[in-house]
Structure 1
Amino acid sequence: MQLVPVSLTYFLEVARTGSVSEAALTLNVAPSAISRQITKLEAGLGVPLFVRHPRGMTVTDAGSRLLAHARRSEAESAALLDELRTGRGADVRSVTVACSEGFARRVVPAAMAAFRGEHPDVTFRLDIVPRQEATRRVAEGIADVAATYAMGPQHDVRVECAVVIPVAAIVPLGHALAGRERITLEELCAYPLALGSSGTSQRELFDIGVQLEGLTARPALVCDALAPQYEFVRSGGGIALVGDLGDLDEGASTDGVAYVRVDHPVFRQREAQIQTMLGRRLPWAATQFTELLVSMLPGRSSQLSGGARPRSDPGRSPRPAGR
């Protein structure tokens, strides 16, 4: 059973897949039925919702606004149905979090543990996904909150908090750079490096910085997962990079490595963000957890230096941000 009108359900699936035929396969209905509903919806609203291309469809500006509304309606309807079916109503206390891997190492699990210390009846689901996927899941109501990195404006989500996170080099204990407060990109490039793939924001910014400085960097290891990079460093294979989500404060005792800040302005183009769905009223547990997560984000108290900002107005696009 669904509470969202059929026309909006069909509209949502065409917007997601970019194709009437793909949407028909997913929904197990005839393509003609979807086409009729979309045409009827456009006629009723008096505006086109899609731009038709030879190989697919993309939403118009009006379609984008309706898409945001439809996503909110879908998410809230699903939550209501779950409450009605389980009979637990307001007692349902579960929170789904999507985050990129860097946040999953310490910040998000620590926030979950602290929250359950006060509210042991609340349960969590944690999905570790690429940064863009975390944002998509919140925008589509799959997750309640996302903790991720971003570069550039975020139009499809509400940015509860955004903080510029410094980048640190991970070096083996006893390394020549261990104990240094800061190092330059030039010093970093003198050693074998373990880096993420070119699709990650950190690697993108690293490559820009290297190009600006006229440096040459040849990664010894390319890997998007953090665990292999840490073991590579601990085993003496080279140096890796990580966003400093509290790692420098933790010190070497927990990870068996040392952290050294990398000093270059290029890395300031990326922000760590806590994101929720635009216009959605989150359940109590998700709202309270989001506030706790914001408070635990490193650098959250540094507003005077411009390092953080509070949640943005739902009616406005956030400022440019950054894995």
Structure 2
Amino acid sequence: MQLMPVSLAYFLEVARTGAVTEAAQNLRVAPSAVSRQIAKLESGIGVALFARHPRGMTLTDAGSRLMAHARRTEAESSALVTELRTGSGADVRNVTVACSEGFARRLVPHAMAVFRQDHPDVTFRLDRVPHQEATRRVAEGIADIAVTYAMDRQHDVRVECSVVVPMAAIVPPGHQLAGRERAGLAELCEYPLALPPTGTTHRDLFDIGVHMEGLTARPALVCDALAPKYEFVRSGGGIALVGDLGDPHPDPSTEGFASVPLDHPVFRRREAQVQTMLGRRLPWAATQFTTLLVSLLRPRATNL
């Protein structure tokens, strides 16, 4: 059920799709109806919300600001409808979290289990997505909270917590680097490496650091998932680059590997963040869970 004004709902769909025709198809109305509502909205506000191009429409600065408002309105409308239907009042008990894989492995599900010990009526949805997608989902109101990595200043979301966390190499027990307090990039490049693909924060920073040091790295395995890299290490294939978020077992050797923090300033460029939508008032459960996530993430900050 839609609680937003029709003109705002139509505006939001055109902003998402970049075309009146596609927006009309999604809304199941005539394109002329969408065009009339957009024109009515622009006339009422007194500014152009879209720049018209032969192949579509893009938001103006004013349109971008209205887009942020529309997203908040949509998210809060959806939450209100749920509250009214369930009779739960202000305490909506469903929380959606979008996070990148490193956080989905232990940190976020651990926090969910801890939270449900005191609030067993809360239901969580965990969506494991790439780091940029986690931010997008919060910005658009698809998820309540994002837990992800970022290397740039965030403008579309509210950053509840931002900390620099270490990078680490995982190595087999008994490896020459096992038990070391720190390892450098030059030492890593001496061994077969399992790395994430180019375009991930881990890999991009690693490549920058290798270039800065004048080193050459030849990956033995390139993989965008954690589980195969851990198995590659356990099976003696080499060593792997991972984000050190306390993911390993308290005694990593029981899982078939050891964790060695990496020592290079390039890794300070990456921050682990808890993000929520700008200007949105989160339901009680989501607000309390955000507080818990922040309390768990902050102690993991690096001292590099």
Paired position in structure 2 for 1:261: 261
Q: How far does residue 15 in structure 1 lie from its aligned partner after superposition?
A: 1.3
Q: How far does residue 32 in structure 1 lie from its aligned partner after superposition?
A: 1.9
1:108-137 alpha-carbon deviations (Å, 9 max, x no partner): 011111111111111111111110111111
Residues 50 and 63 in structure 2, CA contact (< 8 A), matched pair in contact too: yes
Map 1:1-323; keep pairs closer than 5 Å: 1-247=1-247, 250-299=250-299
Report the Cα distance in structure 2 between the residues aligned to 1:173 and 1:44, rounded to whole angstroms: 68
Deviates more, 1:243-252 or 1:26-35: 243-252
Residues 191 and 238 in structure 1, CA contact (< 8 A), matched pair in contact too: yes
- Closer, same or farther: CA 77–164 of 1 in aligned 2, 3 Å: same
- Closer, same or farther: CA 175–298 of 1 in aligned 2, 3 Å: farther
Question: What SS class does the counterpart of residue 142 from structure 2 fall into?
Answer: coil
Report the Cα distance in structure 1 between the residues aligned to 2:253 and 2:184, rounded to whole angstroms: 25
Residues 100 and 128 in structure 2, CA contact (< 8 A), matched pair in contact too: yes
TM-score (normalised: structure 2): 0.95
Q: How far does residue 21 in structure 1 lie from its aligned partner after superposition?
A: 2.0
Deviates more, 1:249-258 or 1:96-105: 249-258
Letter in 1 for 2:11: F
Report the Cα distance in structure 2 between the residues aligned to 1:280 and 1:103, rounded to whole angstroms: 23
Residues 4 and 73 in structure 2, CA contact (< 8 A), matched pair in contact too: yes
Aligned residues: 304
Q: How far does residue 274 in structure 1 lie from its aligned partner after superposition?
A: 0.2
Deviates more, 1:86-95 or 1:179-188: 86-95
Letter in 2 for 1:268: R
Letter in 2 for 1:194: A
Q: How far does residue 86 in structure 1 lie from its aligned partner after superposition?
A: 2.5
Q: How far does residue 219 in structure 1 lie from its aligned partner after superposition?
A: 1.1
Q: How far does residue 43 in structure 1 lie from its aligned partner after superposition?
A: 1.3
Letter in 2 for 1:192: P
Residues 165 and 301 in structure 2, CA contact (< 8 A), matched pair in contact too: no
Report the Cα distance in structure 2 between the residues aligned to 1:250 and 1:51, rounded to whole angstroms: 55
1:264-319 alpha-carbon deviations (Å, 9 max, x no partner): 111110000000010011111110010001000153678xx7x9xxxxxxxxxxxx
Deviates more, 1:141-150 or 1:17-26: 17-26
Give me the identity figure in percent.
77
Letter in 2 for 1:101: E
Report the Cα distance in structure 2 between the residues aligned to 1:152 and 1:133, rounded to whole angstroms: 15
Letter in 2 for 1:72: R
Residues 294 and 300 in structure 1, CA contact (< 8 A), matched pair in contact too: no
1:181-201 alpha-carbon deviations (Å, 9 max, x no partner): 111111111111111111211
Extract unaligned runs of 5+ from structure 1: 308-323
Letter in 2 for 1:114: V
Letter in 1 for 2:120: P
TM-score (normalised: structure 1): 0.90
Residues 91 and 284 in structure 2, CA contact (< 8 A), matched pair in contact too: no
Letter in 2 for 1:167: M
Letter in 1 for 2:279: G
